[in-house]
Amino acid sequence: MLVVITQCLPEHQPKGEKSLRSLPSESALNPSQLLGKKLFFDTLLSNPAGQSCATCHMPKMSFTDPEQLPVSRGAIKSKFGHRNSPTVAYAAYTPYFHFDSLEGEYVGGLFWDGRAPTLEEQAMSPLLTHHEMNNADKTMVIDHVMHSEYRNLFLSVYGANAFDDKEKAFENLAEAIEEYEEAPEVSPFTSKFDYYSRGLVKLTDEEMRGLKIFNDTLKGKCAACHPSTPDPLTKAILFTDFTYDNLGVPVNAELVKLDKEYQPDLGLGAIVKQSGENGKFKVSTLRNIANTAPYFHNGVFKTLKEVMQFYNDRDSGKFGPPEVPENVNHDELGNLKLTDQEMDDVIAFLKTLSDGYSLSDSVRMN
C-alpha cells in the first residue's frame, strides 16, 4: 500500500515584511490562491492576447519555458529579452533582497539580478515589460481582469470596490499571483531526494557517489553555494544560498544574433551600481534542474553534461572568455579535476532533485 507523504513545511519564511502562511494541499487552494492561479494561466492578460505567466513558466517543465530557448519570446513573438526564464518553483522561499553585512554579500530578491525585492513585486514586472506581456499600463491589465470569467472571484477576494482604484487593484493582482506561487503545487517537495531525506527510499550507488562529490568541500564544492542541508530559517532544503556569483559564463552567441547591439550583462552590478558586483547573478535552486534547460542567466548551455564540463574545465579556456571578466569565482569552480565518471555521478544525483517521483518504483528503506 502506497502511503501518501505530507511535506513538513518550514515554520518561518523570509519573504519581504510578511510571513509565509501555512499552505493548503493542491486540492484545497484558498480563494486568493485560486484567483492567483487563474491569473497565472490567463492568456488574455497580454497585449496582444496569447501569453500568460505559464507560457514561460509551464508546470510540466518545472515552471520554466517549454520551448527551451535561451530567452523566451514575448507576446509579440519577434521580441526577446536577454535573460533565460528561471523556474518559479520554490521562489516563495526566497528572502527579501538585502545586503548581509556579516558575510559581505547581497542575498535574496527575485530575477537573476535581484531587482525585485519580493515575489509580489516580481509578479508585476512581466505584465508591463515590452518584450514580455507588453501591456501599456496597469489600467490595461485591470481592464482585462474586469472582463474576465474570474471577475467575481477577484471581487470576492478583494471586496466589492476592488476595481475602483486601478493602482490598488494591480497590487492585489500581483499579491494573488504571489499567493498561488506559495502553493504546494508550485513547490511540492516530491523528489526522490526528498523521500530519501525522510528515510523512505534508497539512492543508487551512482546517486550516492554523486551526493558525496556534491558535498565534498575539496572536490565537487557544489554545496558551497547549493547546500543540501536544511536552510536555518525555513528548515527546507532548497539547494541555493540565495547569494550572487560571477561564474565566468561566456557570451551566448545566439543572443548576439537576436540583438546586434548586445552588451555584456552586468547582472547585480547594474542594479546596485557597484563594479565589484559586475557579472554576478543569483545562485539558482537546483531543484528540478534536470528539467529546466537551458542553463545560466543567458541559456548558454543546453545540457547538464555541458554545465558539469564547464564547472570542471572552465579555466582551460576552451569555453571562451567570460562575458564579464572581473569578479569571476576562481575558488569553487573552473579546475575541479573531476573524471568523466565523477561528473556523471553528480548528474545522476542532480536528477534525484526532480519533483513527481513515484514511491511505487523505488527501493524502500526497511
12 has a pLDDT exceeding 60 = no
**H/E element holding 264?**
none
Predicted confidence at residue 235, as pLDDT, reads 93
122 vs 11, higher pLDDT: 122
CA dist 210 and 205 (Å) reads 9
pLDDT, residue 81, reads: 87
CA proximity to 357, closest of 197, 135, 128: 197
Task: Please tell me the predicted confidence (pLDDT) of residue 15.
Answer: 39
With a cut of 90, say whether residue 28 has pLDDT above it: no
Integer Cα distance of 193 and 287 in angstroms:
10
Q: Which residues contact 90 (CB under 8 A, 6 or more apart)?
A: 186, 187, 238, 285, 287
CA distance 94 to 77: 30
- CA quadruple 224, 229, 233, 235: dihedral, nearest 10: 160
Taking residues 21-40, report their average pLDDT: 77
Burial of 340 (0-12, 13-18, 19+ CB in 10 A): exposed
- 282 secondary structure, DSSP code: E
> Where residue 359 falls among pLDDT bands split at 50, 70, 90?
confident
DSSP string, 71-136: S-B-SSTT-B-SS-----TTGGGPPPPEEETTTTEEE--BSTT--BSSHHHHHHHHHH-TTTT--S
18 pLDDT band (50/70/90 cuts)? very low
Cell matching residue 156: 470576492
Instruction: Give how far the C-alpha of residue 67 lies from the chain's centroid of Cα atoms, to the nearest Å.
Output: 16
Element (DSSP H or E) covering residue 274: none
Give the model's pLDDT for residue 14: 37
Instruction: Output the pLDDT for position 175.
Output: 98
Whether 47 and 197 have beta carbons less than 8 Å apart is answered as: no
Which of the pair, 182 or 15, is modelled with greater confidence? 182
Residue 276 has pLDDT above 90, yes or no: yes
How large is the average pLDDT for residues 191-210? 97
* Length of the chain in terms of residues written: 366
Q: From start to end of 225-353, where are the E strands?
A: 244-245, 281-282
Q: Measured between alpha carbons, how far is residue 267 from residues 193, 250, 283, 324, 355 in Å?
A: 31, 14, 12, 9, 29
Kindly report each contact of residues 228-235 with a partner whose C-beta sits within 8 Å and lies 24 or more positions away, as own/partner.
231/10, 231/93, 233/10, 233/12, 233/13, 233/14, 233/95, 234/10, 234/12, 234/13, 234/14, 234/93, 235/8, 235/10, 235/11, 235/12
Question: What's the sign of the alpha-carbon dihedral 161, 136, 55, 50?
Answer: positive
Match domain 26-181 to its CATH number in 1.20.1730.10, 1.10.760.10, 3.40.50.970, 3.40.50.300: 1.10.760.10
Fold match, 26-181 / 192-361? yes
- Residue 240 has a pLDDT of 98
pLDDT, residue 364, reads 54
How far is residue 197's CA from residue 191's CA, in Å, rounded to a whole number?
A: 10
pLDDT band at 260 (very low <50, low <70, confident <90, very high): confident
Q: What is the mean pLDDT of residues 167-194?
A: 97
Q: What is the pLDDT of residues 152-163, one digit of tens each?
A: 999 999 999 999
Average pLDDT over residues 66-87: 93
**Nearest by Cα to 212 from 331, 312, 349:** 349
Q: Domain residue spans in the chain?
A: 26-181, 192-361
CATH 1.10.760.10 fits 192-361, yes or no: yes
Residue 8 has pLDDT above 80, yes or no: no
| pLDDT > 90 fraction of the chain, expressed in percent and rounded | 87
**What average pLDDT score do residues 69-76 get?**
94
Which has more pLDDT, 114 or 14?
114
Cα 95–Cα 99–Cα 102 angle in degrees, nearest 5:
105
